Amino acid sequence: MKRCPKCNRLFDENSLKFCRSDGSVLVTGSLTEANTIFFSGAQPIAHTPPRPLPDTPSSIAVLPFRNLTPDPANEYFGVGLADELVHSLTRIENLTVVGGAAAVSFRENDVDVRDLGRTLNVEMVLEGSIRRSKNKMRITVQLVSARSGFHVWSERYDRQLSETFDVKGDIALAVVEALEVTLRAPERSAVSKRHTESPKAHELYLRARFHISKFTFEGFTTGVGYLNQAIAADPNYALAYAGLADAYHHVSSFHLRPAESLLHVKAAAEKALALDENLAEAHALLAVVRANYERKPEEAETGFQRALKLAPNSLLVHRLFGSYLMTQGRLAEAIAEFCRAKQLAPLSPILSVLTSVAYFFAREPNHALQHARKAVAADESFWLGYWSAALAHEQFGQLIEALGQLERAGNRESSPWITALRARVYAKLGNKEIARALLHDADKRAATEWVAPYLVATAYFALGEIDQGFKWLETAFTEYDENVNFIAVDPILDSLRNDPRYVDLLLRAGLEHSSAKTHFAVPVSGDCRNATRI
């Protein structure tokens, strides 16, 4: 066993390095070490002490842990554990952590770790496996140099299933020690934090995140169900409330009406922060509510800055903050945030789409198309990649090419976003009959599903039916269509900027008229390496 020299507590986990109470380095006790479990057919792995590193690594990719059990239903634990480790390690200011979809794709394709390192631009890779036997679980972890392919550190954690909820903290601190990263006191506390004492709640949370990560409406519905069960098992589980806020925001404006979904985001984020004021993602999601629902941009920015201070390397925070900056006309800053997020998820198609849209707002269709193509290259099934490419072609005046991209998008998704943009392009082509038929279809669909009124409004503006366009724009405002927040920078509205109705709507949305002009002079670059704040 091990003992804390400060508080004198005893711990029976041989792999534990730091006291869970005060963070002190543990010393070996005199009591007999606890027995570990053995799985038939498994080869025990001895602890590998950290190898000396030439320089302290500043970047790491965390891969989902392999499921070595015969039952694929256990896949959730390996994915969830990696997700928790990413959440903990992103609290460290001087460590870039890559996880999520990019890491999943590499695990599924079994790519050589050195190729992975070059593609993701990381120095180290954390990988592992889980093996379950009755009520016990063996978790094997190893840290590998992405430069040499050699193992730097490895460890085995044998746990009862009821004890796996706290293994994340042990692994995270051991990784930090192996990387020789110096932690400030708040960072150490955040990395080792245990978010629940309920094994049942923790298991339900991991199952929820596994389904939500599929980014489908079915995954959202299943995941929210698990999160609500986790909260019922532990009403003080702040991380589960933050996950609930994230889930509702993800489907807002695509599958759910923002007037409904943003209220769920607000309630869950506020509850999360009432339980744990240091949850960065909850601060960022509440900032989205402040900007898009309450229309208080100054309070929103305060929330984003608080989130960035708590988790300087959070992918979600950088992505949400970048989207907010676009609404404020600060396009160069927005692109810089998306570029920072891309360091954390280099192959993310949604980040490429957001960067493409930022360049569309900046009247830079060349760069917009470049990033839209990156989204498609990363995931050919991602319909928003084709949709954003259509925006770029539209801005070029290449309307037939835009329709071609929208056809590709429509082959993968039946979103009203596609229908509305097709109507706008046909209107610009002068084919008003088809445009009106598409808008009629969108109007019918609005009776049973969410149709973004803002996009319908822009199609009417393209038809020259200005009054009808403002009618739909007003509907977008009252229904909290999040696209309304881009009225200051959207080039589609350039011809309307002197209309009193536009100016009135801009002010009611909490946006300044000066923001509508900043995009004409913003120095931006198509290369993330040259994107700078202004």
Q: What is the pLDDT of residues 285-312, one digit of tens each?
A: 999 999 999 999 999 999 999 999 999 9
Residue 156's DSSP bridge partners are 140
> Does residue 487 sit in helix, strand or coil?
coil
d(CA 107, CA 116): 10
**Rounded alpha-carbon distances, angstroms, from residue 86 to 80, 90, 226, 275, 447:** 10, 6, 21, 21, 41
Q: What is the pLDDT of residue 78?
A: 86
Residue-level pLDDT at 401: 98
Closest by Cα among 422, 450, 448 to 439? 422
Residue 38 and residue 136 in contact, taking contact as beta carbons nearer than 8 Å: no
Whether residue 300 contacts residue 263, with contact meaning beta carbons closer than 8 Å, is answered with no
HSE-CB of 107 using CA atoms within 13 angstroms: 23
* Count of residues in the chain: 534
pLDDT of residue 310: 93
- Taking the CB of residue 364, how many other CB atoms lie within 10 A of it? 22
What pLDDT is attached to residue 77?
A: 86
**pLDDT tens, 407-422?**
999 999 888 899 999 9
Tens of pLDDT, residue by residue, the chain (534 residues): 565 665 555 555 555 555 444 445 566 643 333 333 333 333 333 444 444 444 555 899 999 899 888 888 788 888 888 888 988 898 898 899 988 655 555 555 667 888 888 888 899 999 999 998 778 889 999 999 998 888 889 999 988 877 777 788 888 888 888 888 888 888 888 888 888 889 899 889 999 988 887 777 888 899 999 999 999 999 999 999 999 999 999 888 777 889 899 999 999 999 999 999 999 999 999 999 999 999 999 999 999 999 999 999 999 999 999 999 999 999 999 999 999 999 888 888 999 999 999 999 999 999 999 999 999 998 899 999 999 999 999 999 999 999 999 999 999 988 889 999 999 999 999 999 999 999 999 888 888 888 899 999 999 999 999 999 999 999 999 999 999 999 999 999 999 999 999 999 999 998 876 654 444 444 445 556 544 333
- The pLDDT value given to residue 142: 92
Burial 166-198 (b: 16+ CB within 10 A, else e): bbbbbbbbbbbebbebebeeebbebbbbebbeb
**What secondary structure does DSSP assign to 286-332, as a single string?**
HHHHHHHTS--HHHHHHHHHHHHHH-TT-HHHHHHHHHHHHHTT-HH
Amino acid at 200: K
Domains of the chain: 1-34 (no CATH), 36-192 (3.40.50.10610), 199-310 (1.25.40.10), 347-530 (1.25.40.10)
